[in-house]
Amino acid sequence: MKIKKQDINKPVTLGFLHEAVDAILQGVDKIIDGLKMEMNDKFETLDTKVDFIHKDLQYQIGDIKHDTPSQKEFDDLKGRVDRFISA
């Protein structure tokens, strides 16, 4: 909605105020819509990064579990090393 140019010496009417308020609110709506789209884009990017990090951590945890001996395996190896050292 466009506000028509009016004489600056003319008194402000209620109708003119309503037009001005409507124009301001439309401008604010456009700003808010732009910010919403920008924030949505940023959140989508953030979600992608978080998903990537989560998957990467899952792989690393799997590798650690695969490479880490169980307590029984560790105790067996420790016993063999202790026997070798004390012999």
Within 4-70, where are the H helices? Answer: 14-67
Residue 1 lies in a domain: no
Question: Does residue 71 belong to any structural domain of this protein?
Answer: yes
Q: Range of 41's domain?
A: 14-86
Residue 75 lies in a domain: yes
- Residue 87 clears pLDDT 80, i.e. is over it: no
pLDDT reading at 62 higher than 90: no
9-33 pLDDT per residue, tens: 888 889 889 999 999 999 999 999 9
Overall average pLDDT of the 53-80 stretch? 89
C-alpha pair distances (Å), 50 with each of 44, 66, 83: 10, 24, 48
Number of domains in the chain: 1
In-domain check, residue 62: yes
pLDDT computed for residue 65 by the predictor: 82
54 domain-assigned: yes
What average pLDDT does this structure show over 26-52? Answer: 95
